């Protein structure tokens, strides 16, 4: 994990410390009443947010792609899970993601005229 992007609701000293311990770079915008004091990671992020806003927002807005993808999956396959067991729920979510990716691939093939190229598989010896 190289970067963590989150909205303002997740801005806290504890969250920034947890992200920092993983070695990832946090991209969480500051609230209007936030100040630059506090821990080292808080001060560094605050100054980056204040003085290099365009660069910060370029990293932060990557999360828009994730939000869009999650919205597409929920609209197409529903937002709830039917499975009861936790492992089954994970498998159900993974199947929804797989089906979404296949739908996007098929859409790209037909709408954009993209021809897939498949490598020939070698026979196992």
**Strands, E assignment, the chain:** 3-5, 25-27
pTM of the model: 0.63
Query: What per-residue confidence (pLDDT) applies to 58?
Result: 92
Q: What are the average pLDDT values for consecutive 10-residue runs of the chain, which has 125 residues?
A: 90 92 92 83 90 92 89 95 96 97 91 84 73
Query: What per-residue confidence (pLDDT) applies to 83?
Result: 95
Query: What per-residue confidence (pLDDT) applies to 123?
Result: 74
Query: What per-residue confidence (pLDDT) applies to 21?
Result: 93
Query: What per-residue confidence (pLDDT) applies to 1?
Result: 85
Query: What per-residue confidence (pLDDT) applies to 125?
Result: 63
Spatial contact of 100 and 72, defined as CB atoms under 8 Å apart: yes
**CA 86 – CA 99 distance, rounded (Å):** 20
């Amino acid at each position: 994990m190289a970067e963590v992007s989150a909205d303002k609701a997740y801005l806290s000293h504890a969250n920034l410390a947890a992200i920092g311990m993983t070695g990832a770079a946090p991209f969480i915008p500051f609230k209007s009443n936030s100040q630059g004091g506090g821990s080292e990671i808080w001060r560094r992020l605050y100054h980056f947010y204040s003085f290099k806003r365009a660069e910060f927002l370029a990293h932060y807005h990557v999360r828009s792609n994730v939000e869009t993808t999650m919205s597409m999956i929920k609209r197409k396959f529903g937002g709830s899970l039917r499975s009861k067991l936790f492992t089954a729920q994970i498998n159900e979510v993974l199947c929804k993601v797989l089906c979404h990716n296949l739908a996007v691939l098929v859409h790209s093939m037909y709408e954009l005229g993209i021809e897939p190229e498949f490598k020939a598989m070698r026979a196992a010896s």
